[in-house]
Amino acid sequence: MIEVKNLHKSFSGVEILKGISTSFDKGKTNLIIGQSGSGKTVFLKCLLGLFHYEEGTISYDGKIFSQLSEDEKRNLRAEIGMVFQGSALFDSMTIAENVMFPLQMFTNQSKSEMEDRANFVLKRVNLDGAHKKMPSEASGGMQKRVAIARAIVNNPKYLFCDEPNSGLDPKTAIVIDNLIQEITEEYEITTVINSHDMNSVMEIGEKIVFLKDGLKAWEGSNKTIFKTDNEVVTDFVYSSELMKKVRQMYIEEKQ
């Protein structure tokens, strides 16, 4: 579990996060959603320890990050997997080499041990046989799966995903969503996903934190987000004409 209490973050005197408190559960897909400029990316980077925050605490299974020694922080980072928005694969490395990179950074495994582990996770994301390909030879969906394989290769306790469906067609996006959810449940990972994709919200939003102007405006799940009377949330969820029709259908069913 990751627990956040009263988190504040400012840039040049402008407050971006204004006292956010929430928690992200183990074995669940936890989504952070909100409009552009709501503070989602800043919040995620604070969770990752990339930004220093002025006030509040972030705890990883009871360990307050700001109170850890540098060695303890390094050990914690070794337990974190990250799926970047653009996959962030190394163009000069094969797919297998990309996946093995965290093992080279954080473990003392032999080359054969790293290769075996890379083979295992690539098979888990349905990329068995793609080891020698270069990223440029892979489709967008394949690159996302490589990024997921790299993120889980070191058996992380915590998995962060920044807009994992960005640039994907709807069908491929659903495949990626389902894969992330399966891996989260299978390995009991605390997974936090930054997203604006309503399909992801509906499919895998077991816990949803909605941010608005640096504040937590709402918290719930995909089972409750379409039933809330919170106007800020409904304006976001039903912003498209399609979703407005869905809402009207829901209202008519209730009547």
The whole-number pLDDT of residue 253 equals 66
The string of pLDDT tens digits covering residues 194-216 is 998 888 888 899 999 999 999 99
In a domain, 33, yes or no: yes
The whole-number pLDDT of residue 158 equals 97
What residues of the chain score a pLDDT lower than 50?
none
In a domain, 247, yes or no: no
The whole-number pLDDT of residue 226 equals 82
Q: What's the number of domains the chain is made of?
A: 1
The whole-number pLDDT of residue 61 equals 95
The whole-number pLDDT of residue 146 equals 94
Domain that holds residue 47: 2-223
In a domain, 243, yes or no: no
The whole-number pLDDT of residue 76 equals 92
In a domain, 246, yes or no: no
The whole-number pLDDT of residue 247 equals 64
Please tell me the pTM assigned to this model.
0.89
Three-class HEC string of the chain: CEEEEEEEEEECCEEEEEEEEEEECCCCEEEEECCCCCCHHHHHHHHCCCCCCCEEEEEECCEEHHHCCHHHHHHHHCCEEEECCCCCCCCCCCHHHHHHHHHHHHCCCCHHHHHHHHHHHHHHCCCCCCCCCCHHHCCHHHHHHHHHHHHHCCCCCEEEEECCCCCCCHHHHHHHHHHHHHHHHHHCCEEEEECCCHHHHHHHCCEEEEEECCEEEEEECCCCCCCCCCHHHHHHHCCCHHHHHHHHHHHHHHC
The whole-number pLDDT of residue 155 equals 92
CATH number at residue 88: 3.40.50.300
The string of pLDDT tens digits covering residues 137-187 is 999 999 999 999 999 999 999 999 999 988 888 888 999 999 999 999 999
In a domain, 48, yes or no: yes
